[in-house]
């Protein structure tokens, strides 16, 4: 049985198998063919943080696969009152067929997974957001940007950046990360990514100059400057991120046909200008829709490998 905790846990071929499944199931869904790949299965969805896309896409996705999703907010379940993760894992794992968790520390997710008898999917932690990157990669394919792209990430060195590192390292493309001083990626995660990059041929570079990162890029991306759990740092962060907004002059430095990706929610006037956001809205909302399709690929793949 496999868990989906970070992209590092899978080979490039395995990730591409999930993407291929996502593409197949997306095409079927578009033709209103709902194949019950996971008939009568229940997906437990534990949320310790807010969500729009993750909740709606997983709940809709499992329903379209013939199963049902259970939305479990930590405010409502005993986990929020102190029941240990490992007990929650052992209880829920006896009742449902798969679990998705959105939580804080990656170690909490890992603890849950180590006690779980069913596959566990990372629906975002402080360290990673791997399901988002699967949707982003599917979107890059759909917009013709997956062949040796230069990807520029401008902004906070956070869970999204870490997952971009993993995607680039697995797929073997060029990723340039520009973060303000003091907001760099986690050095341990960087070390893992660079080790993987050495094997795949990915070129990953770091700096604090957004313009240098974006120059001639095929894909430009960013994320909020204030992630969930960092609300009390908002004022300081907004000051420290001056000059890091992806605006029209910055996008002009990228290739003329570059796309802009954003995992959402987006904060216009901070990490992205209204003008750039609206100019790239078609790609951004395709990316959001692809959460639904990419995650169906991941769930079906994990289901098919539950006896490995």
Instruction: Give least dist CB 284 to ligand NVA, A.
Output: 13
Distance CA 164, CA 106 (A): 16
One of 68, 141, 253, 264 touching ligand CP (CB under 6 A): 264
223: partner contacted, choices ligand NVA, ligand CP, none (Cβ within 5-8 A by kind): ligand NVA
CB-neighbour burial class of residue 228 (10 A; exposed 0-12, middle 13-18, buried 19+) = middle
Give the DSSP per-residue string, 235-267: HHHHHHTTT--B-HHHHTTS-TT-EEEE-S---
223 is known as an active-site residue: yes
124 binds ligand CP (CB under 6 A): yes
138 binds ligand NVA (CB under 6 A): no
Distance CA 51, CA 53 (A): 6
Instruction: Give least dist CB 37 to ligand NVA, A.
Output: 26
Distance CA 26, CA 277 (A): 25
159 binds ligand CP (CB under 6 A): no
Residue of 53, 132, 136, 185 with catalytic role: 132
CB-neighbour burial class of residue 166 (10 A; exposed 0-12, middle 13-18, buried 19+) = buried
The mark string for 40-69 relative to ligand CP (x by CB under 6 A, - otherwise) is: -----------xxxx---------------
- Strand-pair partners of 262: 222
192 binds ligand NVA (CB under 6 A): no
Residue of 223, 237, 262, 293 with catalytic role: 223
129 is known as an active-site residue: yes
Token code pair at residue 254: 């990228």
Residue of 53, 263, 280, 293 with catalytic role: 263
Site residues for ligand CP per CB under 6 A: 51-54, 124, 132, 263-264
């Amino acid at each position: 049985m496999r868990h989906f905790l970070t992209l590092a846990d899978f080979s490039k071929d395995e990730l591409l198998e999930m993407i291929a499944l996502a593409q197949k199931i997306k095409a079927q869904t578009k033709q209103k063919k709902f194949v019950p790949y996971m008939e009568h299965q229940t997906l437990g969805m534990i949320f310790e943080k807010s969500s729009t896309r993750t909740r709606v896409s997983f709940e809709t996705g499992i329903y379209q696969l013939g199963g049902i999703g259970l939305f479990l907010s930590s405010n409502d379940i005993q986990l929020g009152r102190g029941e240990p993760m490992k007990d929650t894992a052992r209880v829920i794992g006896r009742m449902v067929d798969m679990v998705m968790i959105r939580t804080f520390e990656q170690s909490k997710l890992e603890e849950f997974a180590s006690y779980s008898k069913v596959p566990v999917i990372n629906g975002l932690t402080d360290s990673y957001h791997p399901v988002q990157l699967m949707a982003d990669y599917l979107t890059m394919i759909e917009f013709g940007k997956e062949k040796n792209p230069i990807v520029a990430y401008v902004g906070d060195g956070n869970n999204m950046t870490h997952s971009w590192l993993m995607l680039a390292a697995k797929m073997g493309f060029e990723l340039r990360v520009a973060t303000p001083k003091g907001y760099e990626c986690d050095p341990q995660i960087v070390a893992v990514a660079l080790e993987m990059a050495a094997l795949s041929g990915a070129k990953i570079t770091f700096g604090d100059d957004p313009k240098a990162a974006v120059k001639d890029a095929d894909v430009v991306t960013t994320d909020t400057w204030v992630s969930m759990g960092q609300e009390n740092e908002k004022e300081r962060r907004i000051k420290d991120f001056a000059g890091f907004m992806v605006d029209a002059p910055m996008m002009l430095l990228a290739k003329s046909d570059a796309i802009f990706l954003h995992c959402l929610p987006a904060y216009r006037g901070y990490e992205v200008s209204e003008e750039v956001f609206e100019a790239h809205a078609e790609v951004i909302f395709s990316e959001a829709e692809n959460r639904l399709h990419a995650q169906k690929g991941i769930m079906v793949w994990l289901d098919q490998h539950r006896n490995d």
